[in-house]
Structure 1
Amino acid sequence: MNIDEILLKDKKIYHTKELMAVGLTYYKINKLVDEGWLIRLNKSYYENNYFEGEDNDFYYVTAYTPEGVVCLLSAAVYYRLTNFRPDSIDVAVPKKKNVSTLPDWPVFKMYYFEKNRYDLGIKNIISSKDGFKIYDIEKTVVDILYYRNKIGIEETKEILTNYLSRQDRNLNKLIQYSEKLKCHDILKSYLEVLV
């Protein structure tokens, strides 16, 4: 079997099940690791060294935290709401979830969300053949308002200002999210100052 038939050039992260679905055994997978075609990330996921697509660190989120959702500043960067570049990927998981193995790189900053905060506003992004979960833009803004003291007041103001200047903003959805997540008063006071 040719390597082109096994590893797609536009897929960065593979689950063991995906590799076995194309006819590989554990022995053959380990052989691909030994030959340098794959890098073992953990017991279930592998990185494709043959990958030629657009690189995105968010692809690693699913490999290390299958329930992980890109959130807060990392999501704000994705939506171009801030020029700030965090040195880690902000990842939300359910509060009682145990995340045991994290990589040295990329660095993940974990946030343990209550069920109602975790479940609200999750989007699946598929790019090439890889994907990751991220909160929608309104949920991102509301979470940043909620965590404004950890994020920083200036960054929070910048993100909200940039959101309000967008053509695709949805203020009704923003207000609904702020009510559901108990930070409507915070949003209201920011809007009174900015608008």
Structure 2
Amino acid sequence: MPASASTAPTTASHTQRVLDLARQKGLLRASDLDAIGAPRIALTRMTAAGLVERVGRGLYRLPGAHAEPSGSEFDSLTTVATKVPQAVFCLLTALQFHELTTQLPRQVWIAMPRGSHAPRIDHPPIKMVQAAGEAYAAGIEEHLRDGVRLRVYSVAKTVVDCFKHRNKIGLDVALEALRDARHNAKATADDLWRFAKICRVANVMRPYLEAVG
């Protein structure tokens, strides 16, 4: 009896700390519990009790969190960002994020530092490209969605990346992105030219940049 009595407050304390962290972060990794001194088995107990729900391997959130207005729209991105913090959303995924395409990519496109291994994620499906130096690090923006920090390339960097990887996504997609970005004043010619030089596609983009003005 004494052992049970002493364990109950500890379990309740762990539960409350996990719930507080889930509200703060949106998505929880099992490893996040180490920082608050709670055992990972707490997530198993809380899932069985309906206090949290498992949304992927080692990923949890509060029940109904996906019902928030922006939840379903960013579910895939927040899942990837939580499991692969160094990933930067790029190409078709970044175009969708910046509302520069009506296409719904079948995969989440991410950029990783050259030499990285492909992330092991059950869902969503991932398409990875690699870059080094400024071609990877330049143009990264941070956006907070559902309590999770998303790293997304800026509009100008995304458009330039579309030209750099035109063989993967199609030149027509790159041209449409360029036209929309300039027409809607989402990227300046100077920014586009700067990233074109960083990504070594200035000669490829020059005629298209001159055509759109």
TM-score w.r.t. the length of structure 2 is: 0.79
Unaligned runs of 5+ in 1: none
* Structure 2 Cα separation of the partners of residues 100 and 170 of structure 1: 33
Higher-RCO chain (CA-CA 8 Å, sequence separation at least 6): 1
Question: Which residue identity is paired with 2:102?
Answer: N
State the AA in 1 paired with 2:147. K
Q: Kindly provide the amino acid, as one letter, of the partner of residue 158 in structure 2.
A: T
What's the % identity of the aligned pairs?
21
Is the 1:64–1:101 contact (alpha carbons within 8 Å) kept by the matching residues of 2? no
User: Secondary structure at 2:162's aligned position in 1?
Assistant: helix
Q: What SS does structure 2 have at the residue aligned with 1:58?
A: helix
Other-structure match for 1:97: 116
Kindly name which structure, 1 or 2, has the bigger radius of gyration based on alpha carbons. Answer: 2
Structure 2 gap segments, 5+ residues each: 1-11
**TM-score with structure 1 length normalisation?**
0.85
After superposition, the Cα gap between the structure-2 partners of 1:25 and 1:140, relative to the gap in structure 1 and judged at 3 Å, is same
Match of 1:173 in 2: 191
1:71 corresponds to which residue?
90
Deviation per residue, 1:105-135 (Å, 9 max, x gap): 2111111222331111111211241121111
Query: 2:99 corresponds to which letter in structure 1?
Result: R
What residue is the counterpart of 1:19 in the other structure? 33
Aligned length in residues: 192
Whether the 8 Å CA contact 1:61–1:69 is kept in 2: the answer is no
How big is each residue's C-alpha offset from its partner over 1:164-183, in whole Å with a ceiling of 9 and x where there is no partner? 11234222121111111111
Deviations along 1:90-111, whole A, 9 cap, x unmatched? 01111111235122x2111111
AA of the residue aligned to 1:69: V
- Looking at structure 2, the residues matched to 61 and 33 of structure 1 have their Cα atoms a distance apart, in angstroms, of 21
Say yes or no: does 1:122 pair with 2:135: no
Given residue 197 of structure 2, which amino acid in structure 1 is its aligned partner? E
1:39 counterpart residue number: 54
The structure in which a higher percent of residues are helix is 2
Contact 2:29 / 2:83 at 8 angstroms: preserved in 1?
no
